[in-house]
Structures are given as C-alpha cells and as structure tokens.
Structure 1
Amino acid sequence: MTQEQKQRPETITALLHQAGIAHHTTHIETNGDDPEWPIWYAGYLLENGFEALLNAKLLKSDLIYLLVLVDRQQKSEAPGAQWETYYANFFARRYLNE
C-alpha cells in the first residue's frame, strides 16, 4: 500500500470537513440547517474530487443515497462520533477496502 493510499481516508475526512464549512457558510441564514443537505453535499463533493479519492465513478443520485445511508448509520451506531471521520471510514471501507 502506497503512502497516498494510507492517507486517503484522512484526505476524505478533510474534504468532508471542508464541505461542512462551505455548507454552513452557504446556509448561514439558517445556521446550516438544510433539509436537502445530501443534494448539496453530493454536488460539492463531486465537484471537488470525491470520485478520484474513492477511485470510483459515482452518479450524483448514488452519492445522495449513500450520504443519507451513512448519516442514518452514524446517528444509530455512533451518535457522538465526529461525522467527518465516520463518513470517511464508511466510504473507505466501501470503495478502498480499508
């Protein structure tokens, strides 16, 4: 495993964190509240190299589904966990066999 492959989950975590900040900034008037957040996040992530990090081709609709799925899993399995890390591990296991 190359150094880049070892660091990929950390890079995914950083991109998710960046997306969170951008989303909150975009929705500042609602304090980040957005019932359609998976749609926004999917677009942002795809525009910022998420597919390359996962070495996968994703439809936006697939990514929206996966974001909803991981959000529900995190809320039931690890409600106090840092969401970015939990999501990154979810995607790494699914696409990077980590």
Structure 2
Amino acid sequence: MDNLVATITELLTATGEAHHQAFISSGGEDPEWARWYATKLEPELSGKLTAPLSREDIACLLPLLEKERVLKEPQTGWAQYYARAIVERFSIIHRD
C-alpha cells in the first residue's frame, strides 16, 4: 500500500506542477482545475487501482478530497492526503 500511495503522490505532485506552469499567466486561477487534473491523471491511474476511475469520477473526487483534507488534516500536504484517500477507497490490498 505504501508504494502505491507514494506512486500516486508523485503523480499528483507532477500534475500539480504541470498545472501551475500551464496557468502561471493567469496567476494560477483555474476554476476548472479538477477537470484539468482529471484529464492528466486518468490515464496515469489506469491499472493502478482495483476500481477504475473515469475522468468524471476524478474531477468530482478531487474537490471533495480537498474539503475533507482541510477539515480533517489541514497540516497534511494535499498530494499525500489525496493519494492515501484514493488508495484507501479504490484499491484492494491483498495481504498473505
């Protein structure tokens, strides 16, 4: 589980950096940020999770995870929190 969380944290961080670069001219303002992230993340997450997530799923999930993070763990970095939550919700970990 830890490896998958780390992998998804890296994907989220890279996507965040790419988004920042893409929207630097607008001061980072992007009301459709979740859709932008979803477009980038969907192919990267494909095959990594037990339950497949569509672009629409991801675009709806990310703003909810941010609201949850702010309420429950505001001190935790967003990428780490989102990755852990995604793995906990959408991946079955097999233990021998």
Same-fold status (TM-score > 0.5): yes
For 1:39, the equivalent position in structure 2 comes to: 35
TM-score (norm 1): 0.84
Are positions 1:55 and 2:50 aligned together? yes
3-state SS in 2 of match to 1:57: coil
CA RMSD after TM alignment:
1.6
Deviation at 1:65, TM superposition (A): 1.1
For 1:25, the equivalent position in structure 2 comes to: 21
Equivalent runs, 1:60-79 vs 2, <5 Å: 60-79=55-74
Gaps in structure 1 of 5+ consecutive residues: none
**How many residues matched?**
93
Are positions 1:81 and 2:96 aligned together? no
Q: Any idea what the Cα deviations from partners look like across 1:42-80, whole Å, max 9, x if unmatched?
A: 001013x11222233222111111112101101111222
Gaps in structure 2 of 5+ consecutive residues: none
Between structures 1 and 2, the one with greater helix share: 1
Shift >3 Å, 4+ stretches: none
TM-score (norm 2): 0.86
Name the CA distance, whole Å, in 2 between partners of 1:96 and 1:78.
Answer: 21
State, as a whole percentage, how many aligned pairs show the same letter: 34
